[in-house]
């Protein structure tokens, strides 16, 4: 109770969401925020917990059955939720893929409420990464499954990724541009602030579009489709080597990098970033078998992604700044935008210079792992 009103609270992962409501039924706003987890189901009491000063108690009426040091452990024991378990290294490839996809679906559902609340941009980032990992896994392991059902699920995940992407991209851009504006002085800082204001308005707009997408029946249907796919996958082939899948993705990246040089276009570099992600995700999928060598590939792939990602971020940042400038107008604003664009171009030059070393390390790790 707060000021005579009942406050309902839900803990989802690291996020706490709350809404005012009546004493017996959860408020509609809370159920809306939990839409991805409920998907039409009703909230019902499972256990009663009481938070104390130093512990959380599991109750039977007013009688304490057990007490725990924290809420997470209390909820896990009350709901009898088993600890996550990875398939053994000898388990069929199908079980590894199902386990991997299940974790990605759980990530989407777990971060969905926080994305709706908008309290931490990292939740949006993690939800988007889970969607990307899911698409990459379905693509890499497609030989296991019915092709039509894989294509359908990947298409829906692509739709969701397309809704998450614009807001996340602007979150990243705004964080960087705000830092750059803080380093400017005098009139340039004031005029650059107008660019930031335009980007913030755009971010607010695309976020509203994202929130509308999360309320669409299509989104709930996608989560149902994903859950059904994991629970009863349309298997057509069980004899697939996940290590060979990862090795194949690495070979594709090698072929792409043979064509990359100092004069390569921005699009060519961006394609290497996409393929590096596929290498990383497919290696994560095969990690129980790949072991230490696989972990080294993942680390090197992440560093490579950071380099080509910084380049692509700078490319997109220049495009966004130019678009914001057209809306903001003003001679002074143009000069400030020019200073921001100059810094983005410097980042592109720096990223291109770092690319050979990043690729050299990834190539060495990949060849060591996949031969």
> Tokens 């759980």 correspond to what residue?
106
CA 124 to CA 117: how far, in whole Å? 10
pLDDT at 72: 67
Residues of the chain with CATH 1.40.20.10: 93-370
Q: How far apart are CA 366 and CA 371, in angstroms?
A: 8
CA–CA gap between residue 137 and residue 130 (Å, rounded): 10
Select from 3.30.470.20, 1.40.20.10, 3.20.20.140, 3.90.550.10 the CATH code of 93-370. 1.40.20.10
Among 295, 302, 260, residue whose Cα is nearest residue 277? 302
> Tens digit of pLDDT for each residue in 324-367?
888 877 678 888 889 899 999 999 999 999 999 999 999 999 99
Specify the DSSP class assigned to residue 144. G
pLDDT digits (tens, 9 = 90+) for 136-181: 999 999 999 999 999 999 999 999 999 999 999 999 999 999 998 8
């Amino acid at each position: 109770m707060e000021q005579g009103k009942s406050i309902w609270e839900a803990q989802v992962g690291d996020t706490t969401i709350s809404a005012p409501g009546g004493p017996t039924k959860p408020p509609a706003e809370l159920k809306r925020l939990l839409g991805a987890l409920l998907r039409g189901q009703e909230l019902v009491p499972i256990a009663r917990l009481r938070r104390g000063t130093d512990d959380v108690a599991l109750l039977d009426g007013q009688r304490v059955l057990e007490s725990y040091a924290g809420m997470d452990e209390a909820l896990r024991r009350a709901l009898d939720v088993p600890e996550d378990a990875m398939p053994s290294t000898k388990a069929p490839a199908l079980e590894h893929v199902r386990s991997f996809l299940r974790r990605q679906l759980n990530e989407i559902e777990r971060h969905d409420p926080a994305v709706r609340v908008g309290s931490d941009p990292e939740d949006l980032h993690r939800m988007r990464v889970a969607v990307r990992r899911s698409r990459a896994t379905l693509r890499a392991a497609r030989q296991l499954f019915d092709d039509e059902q894989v294509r359908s699920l990947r298409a829906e995940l692509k739709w969701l990724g397309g809704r998450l992407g614009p807001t996340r991209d602007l979150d990243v851009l705004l964080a960087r541009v705000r830092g750059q504006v803080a380093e400017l002085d005098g009139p340039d800082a004031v005029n650059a602030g107008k660019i930031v204001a335009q980007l913030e308005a755009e971010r607010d707009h695309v976020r509203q579009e994202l929130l509308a997408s999360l309320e669409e029946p299509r989104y709930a249907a996608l989560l149902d489709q994903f859950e059904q796919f994991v629970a009863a996958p349309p298997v057509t082939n069980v004899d697939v080597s996940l290590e060979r899948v990862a090795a194949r993705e690495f070979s594709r990246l090698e072929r792409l990098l043979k064509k990359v040089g100092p004069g390569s276009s921005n699009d060519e570099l961006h394609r290497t970033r996409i393929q590096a992600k596929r290498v990383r995700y497919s290696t994560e999928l095969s990690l129980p078998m790949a072991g230490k060598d696989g972990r080294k590939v993942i680390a090197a792939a992440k560093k490579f992604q950071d380099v080509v990602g910084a380049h692509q971020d700078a490319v997109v940042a220049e495009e966004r700044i130019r678009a914001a400038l057209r809306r903001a107008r003003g001679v002074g604003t143009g000069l400030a935008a020019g200073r921001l664009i100059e810094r983005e171009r410097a980042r592109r030059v720096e990223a291109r210079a770092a690319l050979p070393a990043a690729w050299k390390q990834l190539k060495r790790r990949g060849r060591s792992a996949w031969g």
